Structure 1
Amino acid sequence: PEDHMLTGGSVPGLLATVNFGSQARAGFEVLRRHRPKGPLMCMEFWCGWFDHWGAEHTVRAPGDAAAALAEILECGASVNLYMAHGGTSFAGWAGANRGGELHDGTLQPDVTSYDYDAPVDEYGRATEKFWAFREVLARYAEGPLPEVPPVPPVLASPAACTPTEWTALGEVVDVLGGPEREFGAPPTFEDLDVDRGLVRYRLDVPGPRRPYPLRAPGLRDRAVVYVDGVRAGVLTEDSPALPEPVAGPAAVELWVESLGRVNYGPRLAEPKGLTGGVLHERQYLH
Structure 2
Amino acid sequence: MSYCNLQADCEKCFGLCCVALYFSATEGFPVNKDAGKPCINLQDDFRCSVHNNLKKKGLKGCIAYDCIGAGQRVSQVTYGGHDWKQNPESAKQMFDVFIIMRQLHEMLWYLEEALTLKSEHNMKDKLNVMINEIEHLTLLSADSLIELDLGARRVGVNTLLLHTSELVRKKVKSNQMNSLKGKKTLGSGLDLMGSDLRKKDLRGANLSGAYLIAADLRGVDLSFADFIGADLRDANLSGANLTNSIFLTQGQINTAKGDINTKLPKKLTKPMYWQK
Under a length normalisation based on structure 1, what TM-score does the superposition of the two structures give? 0.27
Structure with greater helix percent: 2
Structure with greater strand percent: 1
Under a length normalisation based on structure 2, what TM-score does the superposition of the two structures give? 0.28
The structure having more radius of gyration, on CA atoms, is 1
